Amino acid sequence: MTKRSANVAIFDSPGKGRGLKATKEFWAGDVIFSEASISAVVFDRYGRWWSMCSDVVIMFYPSAVHNNFPILLPLFFCSLADRICHSCFRRQDKLQRCGQCKFAHYCDRTCQRAGWAEHKQECGAIKTYGKVPNENIRLVSRILWRLDKEGGVVSDTQLTTLEELEDHTADMQEDELKELKVDIHNFLDYWPRNSKQHLVEDISHMFGVINCNGFTVSDQRGLQAVGVGLFPNLCLVNHDCWPNCTVILNHGNQSAVNTMFHSQRRIELRSLGKISEGEELTVGYVDYINLSEERRRLLKTQYFFDCTCEHCTNHIKDDLKMAGKEVDGVKPSDEQVKEATDYCFGMLDKLEKARLNGDYHEVVKICKECVEKTEPVLADTHIYLLRIWSTLSEVQAYLQYFDDAAEYARKMVEGYMKLYHPNNATLGMAAMRAGVTHWQAGQIEVGHGMICKAYAILMITHGPTHPITKDLDAMRIQTEMELRMFKQNEYVYHSMREAALKNKPMAMMHEPKSVEEGIKNLFHRRK
C-alpha cells in the first residue's frame, strides 16, 4: 500500500529506488510539507558537517548591524557548543550553562525547560562518561533514546521508519569504515548501562543513516550552520541537479516565555516553480555551480549513487562554466582559456592557504593578481573566476573597502544569474550580499535593485515569515526611502548619509589570533 500524507506519497522512482511524488499541484513558494527533526545537536566544532541539500550556501553572517543592515564578515573556526542555544539554536552573546554536565548552553530557563526532554539522559551520560563525545555520537544517542521511548514512528506524518532508511555502510571506503568503527567503540563507552542496550548492527545502521542523511541546522536567522539533525521524510526526497524544490530550516516561534508555545525546529520543503500532480519531488544534494563531472563524483562519494539527471547526462551549462570571454564577437583561443583556467586554479590553492592563516591583505593581493591576468580571458560565468570574485568581495567588505566589494559582488551575481535556476536560494543570498555591499558603498540605486531581487527570490525559497526574509523586507523599505531621497537631491542624501555613518560607525570583528581562529572557507561546502 502506498504511504502518503496530505501532499506527498512514496513511490518507486525509476533508477532511484523510493522517492516522493506530489499528490496535488504546487506553485512557486508553496510549502509542500514541513517536518520536525527526530533529534538535532549543536556542532562540537564549526565546519565538520555539511548540508545534505546544499541549495543554501552559507556565505556570511551579520556580526553587527548599522541602520538594520548586516555587516558582512568572513566565517571563522570556532567551538559553537558555548555560543549556540542547545534548544532553539539561536546565537547569543551570553548563554546559561547547564549546571550538571557543564556542556549544554541555553538562552534562559525557558529554553532549558524546552530542551530538557532531549537533554535529560544526555546530561547524565556526559557526567558519567567524563567528557563530551562528538556530534555523531550525541545525535545517534539522542535518536535512540527517543526511539526507545516512543517507537519507530514518532508522529502521524512520518512516512518511513529509520530502520527502512539506507545506511550505505557496505559502500563506505576503508578510511570511512575506520572512522565508523571508532565512533561505534566510543558510543559503546558513552552509552549508559541503565539505558536499553542495542545490537552493534543497529548502532552501525544509525551511524550510517546520519552519515548520508544528516541535515545541517542553521541559526535562527538561517545564515550559519550550527548543528545537525535528522528528518526522516526529507530523507525520501531524491536528488536532481536542477531540482524543483528547495529545503529551508524554519525555527518558528522560539521566543515565547512559556515553553508550551515554543514551536519545534522544522524544515520546510518548498516548491521552486509549478509542480504537477504525480511529479517527483527533488532537491539538490550538491551545488549546481560545480561541473557535471565533479557533481557526479561528489554524489558517488558522499551519497553512493550515479547521477543520471538531464543536466549531468547532457553536461548542460558546463561550457559556460569553463568559457572564454567573447569581446565584439571574438573569443580567446582554447589554449588561452586553458592557460588562464590553470592559472586561476593554482591561485585558488594559494588563496586558501592565505585565508587559513588569516592574512587578509595577502588574500586581496592574490585575488587581484588573478583577476588582472584572467579577467580579460575568462567569461563572467567561469566558475574559478566567480570564486575569486566572491572571495575578493567578501574580504574587501570585511576590510571596509566597500566600493571594491560592491564591484566584485555585482559581477558575481551577474555570473550566477546565467548559471543558477532563477529561484535558487544561493542566487538570492548572493544578491542580498551584493545589495548590502552596494548600500555600504553608497551606491543606493544598484543596492536597492539587488535587495529587491534577493527579496523576490527568498520569498519563494524561504517564505515571508522567515527571519532573513523579514530582514530583507526591512532593507527593501529602507533603501526605497533612501532612493527617493537620493533622486530628489543627491547632494543632501550623501551629506545625511555621511553624517549618519559618522555618528554610528560600523563595528568590526577582531582579527583571528591563530590558525584555529583563522578565516574559514567562505563557501560552506563539502570538498
**Tens-digit pLDDT profile for residues 9-63:** 999 999 888 999 999 999 999 999 999 999 999 987 644 333 334 333 333 322 2
Name the range with the highest mean pLDDT among 39-53, 252-266, 497-511.
Answer: 39-53
Provide CB contacts within 8 A for 48, sequence distance 6+.
Answer: 134, 135
| pLDDT score of 408 more than 60 | yes
pLDDT digits (tens, 9 = 90+) for 239-255: 999 999 999 987 655 45
Superfamily grouping for domain 292-482: Tetratricopeptide repeat domain (1.25.40.10)
pLDDT at 497: 80
pLDDT at 49: 37
C-alpha cell at 371: 583577476
| pLDDT score of 366 more than 50 | yes
pLDDT digits (tens, 9 = 90+) for 264-306: 678 899 999 999 999 999 999 999 999 999 999 999 998 999 9
Could you tell me which of 466, 430, 344 has the C-alpha nearest to residue 58? 430
Give the separation between CA 217 and CA 229, rounded to whole angstroms. 6
| pLDDT score of 514 more than 50 | no
- Phi, psi values for residue 105, rounded to 5°: -125, 145
pLDDT category at 499 given cuts 50, 70, 90 is confident
Name the range with the highest mean pLDDT among 47-51, 214-218, 451-455, 488-492.
Answer: 451-455
Strands 31-36 and 215-218 come out as unpaired
Provide CB contacts within 8 A for 321, sequence distance 6+.
Answer: 289, 291, 381, 382, 383, 419
pLDDT at 242: 97
Strands 238-239 and 282-283 come out as parallel
Q: What distances in angstroms separate CA 276 from CA 17, 82, 87, 226, 270, one per listed residue? A: 21, 45, 38, 35, 14
pLDDT at 494: 83
Percent of residues, the chain, with pLDDT higher than 90: 66
pLDDT at 187: 97
pLDDT category at 463 given cuts 50, 70, 90 is very high
Percent of residues, the chain, with pLDDT higher than 70: 85
pLDDT category at 137 given cuts 50, 70, 90 is very high
| pLDDT score of 69 more than 70 | no
What is the per-residue burial (b if ≥16 Cβ within 10 Å, else e) of 75-102?
bbbbebbebbbbbbbbbbeebeebeebe
pLDDT at 320: 97
- Looking at the chain, the domain(s) classified CATH 1.25.40.10 span 292-482
Give pTM, 2 decimals: 0.85
Give the separation between CA 450 and CA 405, rounded to whole angstroms. 14
Name the range with the highest mean pLDDT among 52-61, 63-72, 98-107.
Answer: 98-107
pLDDT category at 512 given cuts 50, 70, 90 is very low
pLDDT at 68: 36
